[in-house]
Structure 1
């Protein structure tokens, strides 16, 4: 997640730096920038550039500054509101698909503040269909149906999921098992469903959920074993709360194409691995990747795990886990649009 922190007062500005320092230590936070004053003009510049904006200011200033920018729950960034003293963190906009509710809890925990969340499904301890999609990195084909689904879920109506029996849906089954008290569900199997897709039906309304491609970029020192690389991946999966069956592909640079540990891991997980050509990596540009001077001087490329993951995930993909080192293994994660 790419985050902007915008403040108005001196106390808010000081709190911005404290929060940025804490967020920078989180591998799921790709970038965190600080802005101060000139609120309305700054919001105009930031609104479409960041996944989330944390506004340290009075709620009235925030609301009046963003009303003209609002478009849709599927495109608006997550907006959080924090008071100058850091006592309360409020999820103001895009609580589910934008991730504001979960970011609110994260930030409140970091600051020792009280999180404030007002979305109906959350306060009634129900699982919204958009929360399920966000948690499992699924796209929703008809977002206009979200309101009806969540209203029906609040009323206790059953949601049925239909999948293809040939697909690997372990991630879905595990997730639903952990949330059985929050959503009344049933699962069916049918060959009419495309492999990988999930058909959700509730109260005669239907939504198709499609997995977005998740690519794990891997870099490592020469000779790292399959077990050591796998251990690093397990840590990342735990941080992201992602099931192993959701990994679509591994990736690395072509200089690692004979790295036995990576090849063995791909075989063990039964996941393809893509070794990206050096020419593609050398031409790759992104303001979100961490460039390595050593790798650039030795191989002429900005890095291994982050750019290879982004290239493999495809055009307009984004990082959801920045390059993080684990005893000679670096891992990053990119997701397709």
Structure 2
């Protein structure tokens, strides 16, 4: 998640740096930038360039400054509102698909503030269909149906999932088992469903969910074992609250194609690995990756795990977990378009 923190007062500016310093230690935060004053101009610049905006100011200023920019819950960034004293963190916009609700809880805990979340499914402890899609990195074919689904879920209507038995949907089963509370949920198998689709039905309405491409980029010192690399992968999975079955592919640079630890882990977990050509890595440019001076001086590329993950994840991919080191193993995670 890329975050812009916007403030108008001196006290708010100081709080911006406190929040940035805390978020910079979070591997799921790819970038965090600070903006101060001239908020109307700033919001025009950042609204469509960041995944989330943290506005430290009066709610009236925030609402008037972004009202003309709001388009849709599908495309609008998450927007949080915090008072100058850091007493309250309010989820204002794109609570589910944009991730504002979860970011609100995260930031409130970091600065010891009171989180304020008002979406109906959350306050009634129900699982919104858009929350499920966001948590499991699934796309929704018809986002106009979200409102009807969540309204029906609030009314305790049964929710029916249908999948193809040929695909591995352990991540879905585990998630539903852990998160549906008292909801009436059923799961069926059918050969009429495409292998990379999940059909959901509620109150005579249907939504199709499609898994997006999840790629774990891996770099490591020479000779790292399968178990050492796996421990790093398991730590990242835990951080992302992601099931192992959700990983579509491992990726690394061509220079690691004979790294036995990576090859062994790929075979053991039955997850394919793509080794990206050095020429492609040399041409790859992104403002979101952390360049390694050592790797650049030795191989002429900016890095291994981040660029290889982004390239392998495909067009319009983005990092959801920045390069993080685990005792000689580096891991990043990229999210791409729908899995083919």
State if a TM-score over 0.5 links the two structures.
Answer: yes
Tell which deviates more after alignment, 181-190 or 131-140.
181-190
> Secondary structure at 2:160's aligned position in 1?
strand
Q: Does 1:72 align with 2:108?
A: no
Question: Structure 1 residues 182 and 6 mapped into 2: Cα distance closer, same or farther (>3 Å)?
Answer: farther
Taking the aligned partners of 2:6 and 2:224, their CA distance within structure 1 comes to: 43
Taking the aligned partners of 2:68 and 2:121, their CA distance within structure 1 comes to: 27
Taking the aligned partners of 1:75 and 1:184, their CA distance within structure 2 comes to: 30
Q: Does 1:128 align with 2:128?
A: yes
Which sections of structure 1, spanning at least 5 residues, go unmatched? Answer: none
Taking the aligned partners of 2:332 and 2:182, their CA distance within structure 1 comes to: 32
TM-score (norm 1): 0.99
Q: Which residue of 1 aligns with 2:33?
A: 33
Taking the aligned partners of 2:209 and 2:167, their CA distance within structure 1 comes to: 14
Q: Does 1:234 align with 2:210?
A: no
TM-score (norm 2): 0.99
Which sections of structure 2, spanning at least 5 residues, go unmatched? Answer: none
Q: Which residue of 2 aligns with 1:98?
A: 98
Give 1:59-208 correspondences, 5 Å limit. Answer: 59-208=59-208
> Secondary structure at 2:17's aligned position in 1?
helix
Give 1:255-334 correspondences, 5 Å limit. Answer: 255-334=255-334
Q: Report the alpha carbon displacement of residue 197 of structure 1 after superposing the two structures with TM.
A: 1.1
Q: Does 1:209 align with 2:248?
A: no
Q: Report the alpha carbon displacement of residue 315 of structure 1 after superposing the two structures with TM.
A: 1.2
> Secondary structure at 1:160's aligned position in 2?
strand
Deviations 1:238-283 (A, max 9, x none): 0000000000000000000000000000000101100000000011
Q: Report the alpha carbon displacement of residue 182 of structure 1 after superposing the two structures with TM.
A: 4.8
Deviations 1:63-95 (A, max 9, x none): 000000000000000000000000000000000
Q: Decide whether the 8 Å contact of 1:168 with 1:196 is kept in 2.
A: no
Q: Report the alpha carbon displacement of residue 183 of structure 1 after superposing the two structures with TM.
A: 2.8
Aligned CA-pair RMSD: 0.5
Q: Decide whether the 8 Å contact of 1:310 with 1:317 is kept in 2.
A: yes
Question: Structure 1 residues 11 and 182 mapped into 2: Cα distance closer, same or farther (>3 Å)?
Answer: farther
Taking the aligned partners of 1:306 and 1:180, their CA distance within structure 2 comes to: 34
Taking the aligned partners of 2:168 and 2:60, their CA distance within structure 1 comes to: 48
How many positions carry a matched residue from both structures?
337
Moved over 3 A (4+): none
Taking the aligned partners of 1:182 and 1:122, their CA distance within structure 2 comes to: 14
Q: Decide whether the 8 Å contact of 1:125 with 1:182 is kept in 2.
A: no
> Secondary structure at 2:157's aligned position in 1?
coil
Taking the aligned partners of 1:171 and 1:150, their CA distance within structure 2 comes to: 21
Q: Report the alpha carbon displacement of residue 107 of structure 1 after superposing the two structures with TM.
A: 0.2
Taking the aligned partners of 1:90 and 1:262, their CA distance within structure 2 comes to: 43
